[in-house]
Amino acid sequence: MPGTAVFLNAQADVVPHALLHNLAHNKVLHERVVFVTVLTEDVPYVGEQERIQVKTLGTGFFQVLIHYGFKDDPDIPLALQQCKVCGESFNLLETSFFFSRETLIPTKLPGMGLWRERLFAWMARNAQSAMGFFKIPANRVIELGTQIEL
């Protein structure tokens, strides 16, 4: 499919769940697939020269590591527009951002107490979304989700 698919992934060495769900359900693969991992360093700020690392994985797949300091204000679209992948710059109008969304379901199964599971699920639901934190435009986001029983 024409365009760019960006999959945010917490771990750089793992295939994102959103990619697996997208392939399984929609049977779609974009011409350029970018796996983005954001790393927070133990310094207040990371300079522009050290911020982005791009690795070609082959056949239209790329790994982008974006480094921020703990006082930096993360902005994924801005960081992607400043780097070139496959010789091309990012056009946000041709880019879709895919997110994995996990919904936590409290259960009476052995493990944590039910009240703790409910509290944990409530806290997870009220946490800031990655979309807002990383300044990704809502009209460019596709969320693919799963339910996880606690």
Q: Which pTM does this prediction carry?
A: 0.80
Cβ neighbors of 1 (< 8 A, separation 6 or more) are 28, 29, 30, 31
**Contact by Cβ (8 Å): 135, 77:** yes
| Distance between CA atoms of residues 52 and 34, nearest Å | 13
Burial state string for 49-69 with b = 16 or more CB within 10 A and e = fewer than 16: eebbeeeeeeebebbbebbbb
pLDDT, tens digit (0-9, with 9 covering 90-100), for 7-49: 998 888 888 888 888 888 888 889 999 999 999 999 999 998 8
What pLDDT score does 87 carry? 65
Mean pLDDT of the chain: 86
| pLDDT of 149 higher than 90 | no
* pLDDT band (50, 70, 90) for residue 146: confident
What pLDDT score does 24 carry? 86
- Report the DSSP pairing between strands 4-8 and 32-40: parallel
Q: Where are the domains of the chain?
A: 4-102+133-149
